[in-house]
Chain A
Amino acid sequence: MLNKSYVSAGFLILVFSIFLSACGPQREVTQNEVTQGEPEKPEELTLWAWEDTKAAFQNIGDKYTEETGIKVNVVAAENADISLDAPAGRGPDLFYETHDRIGDAYLQGLAAEIELTDEQLKGYQESAMEAFTVDGKLLGIPSSVETIGLFYNKELVPDPPKTIKDINEIAEQLTNADQKEFGFLNITSDFYPTFPFLTAAGGYVFGENEQGGYDTSDIGLASDEVVEGAEIIHSWHENGYIPESLTYDVMNGLFRDGKVGAIISGPWGIPDFEKGLGDKLGIAPLPTYNGEHLQSFLGVKGFAVSEYSESKYWAKDLGLFMTNAVNSKSLFEDTKRLPAREDVSIESELYQGIQEQLQHAKPTPNIPAMAQVWEPMGDALVFITQGENPKEVLEEAEASIKEQISLLGGNN
C-alpha cells in the first residue's frame, strides 16, 4: 500500500507539472491606432446615471438620437460597479460622476482622458474644468456646479449679514436657546460647511506642486490664519450661539419652522426649506471677513468617458451634447442643477445667492487623499468647539491626515 501511494504521488506531480509548464495565453500587444476624423457611428451609447437624474438625461439623450441617429441608453447604476463591469465589457460608454471621485476613477484606469479643442472648451467655467483635471489630464466634461450659501429667514433677518461681524450680531440678538430660537446655525462638526469660516483669514487643504497638481505633503490647515478662523468658530459655541450636539436634522427642522435667522446650507436644501418658509426664504453669498470673501468648496458633477468604451469619440460627443448651453438650461429646469457654463444665465432670485458665492468657490481637491481629510478635520473641529487649544488640535489633525495618507500606500 505504501508503495502505491508513492506511485500515485508521483503521478500527481506529473499531472501538476503538465499544467504548470503551460505558459499562459498567447497574444500580442496591439497598439490602438489613432484614427483621424470621425470614426464610424456606433448603434447605441450607454450612459450610467443616478436614479434621480435618469429621466432628465434620457430626455436629452432622445434629442441626441434625433440629431445623430445614435440610440442613447440611460441606465440608473452604481458607479462603484464600473471597476468590475467595464473591463468585463458590461460597462457604460459615458458615466455621470462627481469631480471629487474622478481621482479614484483615474487611479483605477476607468476614466479616459478627454481632449477638447478650444472651440469645444468655449463656454465652460474654468474652475469646473479645473475640477475635472487630474495630473494635467481632463477626465470629465462638467455638467453642473454647486456650493453652499447663507440661507436666511427674511422675516427675522431683513438684510442678509454681509460680514462675520453681522453674523455675530444677529446671533447675539436672536438666540434664545431655551426657546429653541437661534440667530445663526452651522454644523461646525462638519468640515464641508465650516471650511469657509475656518479659512476666513487664510489657509488651504493641499498646496500646489510644480505640475499644477496637489502636493499632499503640504497641508495648510494648522497655520496661524486657520487658528484665527478656529477661534471664530469656538466663540460661537462659547457664547452659546450654537449648541454642541447640533445635527443636520435638528438645524434644518428649526430653520424650516422659522426659528432660526440664518444657516449655512446648499441648493439641495431649497425644496425642503421652501415648503416651510415659502417667500420668507432668502439666499445670500457667504459673508466677508476683513473685506475678503469667504472661500467655499466647489462641487462639480459631470460626464466621464469610460476607458473601456469602444466608441470614445462618440461618447465624448454625447458628453458635450449633454452639457451644451441649451441642454444645461433644460437640466436646470428639470433637476435644479446649476449649469457649469458661463454662457447660460439662470434667472432665479433664489439661486442668485448661490451663483454669486460660486465666484468665490474653489474645487474640493479631486485626489483620493482628500477622502482622508474629512474625518480628522471634523474631529478637530469638535475638539475646537469644546475649547481645546486650536493650534495643538489642528497640528494633530494635520499629522493624522498625513499618517492616513501614508497608510493608503500613496508614499510607497
Chain B
Amino acid sequence: MSKQKHNPMIAVTISIVPGLGQLYNRQFIKGTTFLLLTIAFVVSFYQFLNIGYWGLLTLGEIPGLDDSRVLLAQGIISLIITGFAITFYVLNLINAYKEAVKIKHGRKNDDLRKSFKDGWDKSFPYVLVGPGLFLLIFVVVFPLLYMILLAFTDYNLYNSPPKNLLNWVGFENFISLVTVPIWRSTFFSVFSWTVIWTLVATTLQIALALILAIFVNDPRIKFKKFIRTVLILPWAVPAFVTILIFAALFNNDFGAINNDILGPLFNQAIPWMTDPFWSKVALIGIQVWVGFPFVFAIFTGILQSISKDWYEAADMDGASSWQKFKSITFPQVMFATAPILIMQYAGNFNNFNIIYLFNQGGPAVRGQNAGGTDILISWVYNLTFETQNYNMAAAISIVIGLIIAGFAFYQFRRTRSFKEEGEM
C-alpha cells in the first residue's frame, strides 16, 4: 500500500467502530485501546442506557413497580453519559481522519513515546479541569435538567410516585400558568410585585450608596476612615440575623419601631406586619439597609480613582457642583460598575431570604392565594413544600431562570463592552 493511496475517508468510515480507523492508520496500540474501551463501554453501559432511555420516554409502565422519579433521573444520567460518549466518538473520528491525512502526505508515524508526550501536553489543561467539570455536571447540570424536565410532567400531590406514574404533558403547565384564571391572577400579581420590588429596592440601595460615597469622599469631610467603617458595618452582620432582628423591631404590638419611635413621637402605630402596603415599605427599607454597604464600598474605591485633574479642569471652566457630578462623577462610576449593579438587580429578583424571614411572604390578602409580599421564588417555595405542586413550581422556576439568564447575558455583554472601550 503506497502512501499516496492511503485514504482518509476510509479511515473515517471504518472508524464507525472506534479503533479500526487507527488500526488502518497502523497505530496498533492506540487502535486496540480504543477498540477495547468501546467494547467495555457498550458491555457495561448497554443495560443502564437501555433502561435509562426507555424510562425517559415512557416514565415507567407499571404503577407501583416503576418509580417515575428514579427513571427520570436514570434517563438524565444516560443522556449525560451519551453526551460524553459522543464527544469521545467524534474525537475518535477526527483523530482517525487527521492521522490518515498525515500519512497520506507522507509523514511517518510518531513513535509511541513522542505521541504520548504530545497527547499529555495537549490534554493537560483538560486533566486539570476534568474533576471540577465532572462534579459540576452532577451537582449543577443534573439537578437543573431534572427540574426542567419536571416542568413538562404532571407531578403533583394527587399524582405522586411511587403509587402513580408521571406522564409527559408537553407545555400544558406553562399554558395553564397564563390561561387558567386562578393561576394567571396569582402569577401576574406576584410577578408584578417581584418586578417592582427588584427595581425599587435595588435602585434605592444603589442611590443611597452613591450619595453616601460622594459625601464621604468630599475633601471637607473629616474622620473618613471611621465613617466608612461605620457605613460598612451592616455588611459585616449576617443578613439573616439583620432580617430577623428587623422583623422583631417592626412587630405591630411589641416592636420597638411602633412602641418606642412612632408611638411617643407621632402617637401613631403603623401596621407593618398586617398591611401589605406597609409590609412592602418595610421590606424595601430593610433591603436598602442590608444591600447598600457592598455598593458603597465599590463606589468609594472608584471615586478615589477618578483623576483630580478632571475636576480641576472643570473648576477652571466654572462648572457647578451639579455639572461636575453629572458629567464626571456619575458617568465614571456607572461605567465602571454597571455589570456589578446589574447583578445586584438579579440578586434581588431572587432574594428569598428577606421575603421569607421577614414574615413568610405575608400578610394575607383577601381574595388572593399568595401572600401580599410573596415574590416568585418564595411562591415557588410554597408551591413545592406546602401544596406539593412540583410541576407548576418547576415551570415557574424555568420562567425565573430565563429572566435571570437575561440579566446575566446582559451583564456579560456589558462586561465585554467595558473591556473593549476601556482601552482608550
Contact = CB atoms under 8 A, between A and B. Distances in A.
Interface of A: 4, 7-8, 11-12, 14-15, 19-20, 22-25, 29, 83-84, 86-88, 104, 107-110, 243-245, 307, 368, 371-372, 375, 379, 382-383, 393, 396, 399-400, 403-404, 406-410
A7 B9 CA distance: 10
A281 B211 CA distance: 60
Given A403-B182, A403-B369, A408 B158 contact: yes
B367 A408 contact: no
Contact of B12 (A4, A243, A396): A4
Contact of B50 (A22, A87, A409): A22
A383 B50 contact: no
A83 to B, nearest CB: 7
Contact of A11 (B16, B57, B369): B16
Contact of A29 (B54, B62, B158, B252): B62
B157 A24 contact: no
A368 B182 contact: no
A403 B386 CA distance: 15
B364 interface: yes
Contacts of A86: 162
Given A104-B157, A107-B160, A407 B389 contact: yes
Nearest to B156: A409
A365 to B, nearest CB: 15
Contacts of A245: 251-254, 273
Interface residues of B, number: 51
B90 interface: yes
Interface stretch (B63-71, B295-303, B306-314): B63-71
A108 B158 contact: no
A11 B64 CA distance: 38
24 contacts: A4-B93, A7-B12, A11-B89, A20-B53, A20-B57, A22-B50, A22-B54, A25-B51, A83-B160, A107-B160, A108-B160, A109-B64, A109-B162, A109-B164, A244-B252, A244-B253, A371-B387, A375-B364, A393-B366, A396-B367, A406-B182, A407-B182, A409-B159, A410-B158
Nearest to B49: A19
Contact of B89 (A15, A22, A244, A403): A15
Nearest to B51: A25
Given A109-B64, A399-B367, A403-B369, 12 more contacts: A4-B93, A22-B54, A25-B54, A84-B69, A86-B162, A108-B162, A245-B253, A368-B158, A396-B367, A406-B182, A407-B183, A409-B159
A403 B49 CA distance: 42
Q: Which of B16, B58, B69 has the most CB of A within 10 A?
A: B16
B164 A8 contact: no
B54 A408 contact: no
A66 to B, nearest CB: 35
A4 B101 CA distance: 13
Contact of B253 (A23, A243, A307): A243
B161 interface: yes
A194 to B, nearest CB: 16
B307 to A, nearest CB: 52
A151 B351 CA distance: 43
B115 interface: no
A287 B89 CA distance: 79
B91 to A, nearest CB: 11
Nearest to B58: A24
B369 A407 contact: yes
A397 to B, nearest CB: 9
Q: Which of B162, B273, B387 has the most CB of A within 10 A?
A: B162
Contacts of B274: 382
A104 to B, nearest CB: 7
A139 B386 CA distance: 23
B366 A368 contact: no
B270 to A, nearest CB: 13
Q: Which of B55, B58, B369 has the most CB of A within 10 A?
A: B369
Interface in B158-186: 158-164, 182-183
Interface in B137-164: 154, 156-164
Nearest to A400: B369
A61 to B, nearest CB: 27
A93 B400 CA distance: 41
A24 B54 contact: yes
Nearest to A109: B163
Interface in B42-78: 49-51, 53-55, 57-58, 61-65, 67, 69-70
Contacts of B163: 107-110
Given A109-B164, A245-B252, A408 B97 contact: no
Contacts of A383: 366
B156 A19 contact: no
A371 B385 CA distance: 11
A11 B20 CA distance: 15
Contact of A12 (B86, B154, B364, B386): B86
A368 B49 CA distance: 37
A409 B64 contact: no
Nearest to B60: A24
B157 A408 contact: yes
A307 to B, nearest CB: 8
B51 to A, nearest CB: 6
B389 A409 contact: yes
Nearest to A393: B366
A244 B54 CA distance: 58
Contact of A19 (B50, B97, B366): B50
Contact of B51 (A20, A24, A371): A24
Contacts of B254: 245
Nearest to A308: B162
B13 interface: yes
A22 to B, nearest CB: 4
B150 to A, nearest CB: 14
Nearest to B185: A403
Interface in B345-388: 364, 366-367, 369, 386-388
Given A19-B49, A24-B58, A25-B54, A409 B369 contact: no
A179 B303 CA distance: 56
B192 interface: no
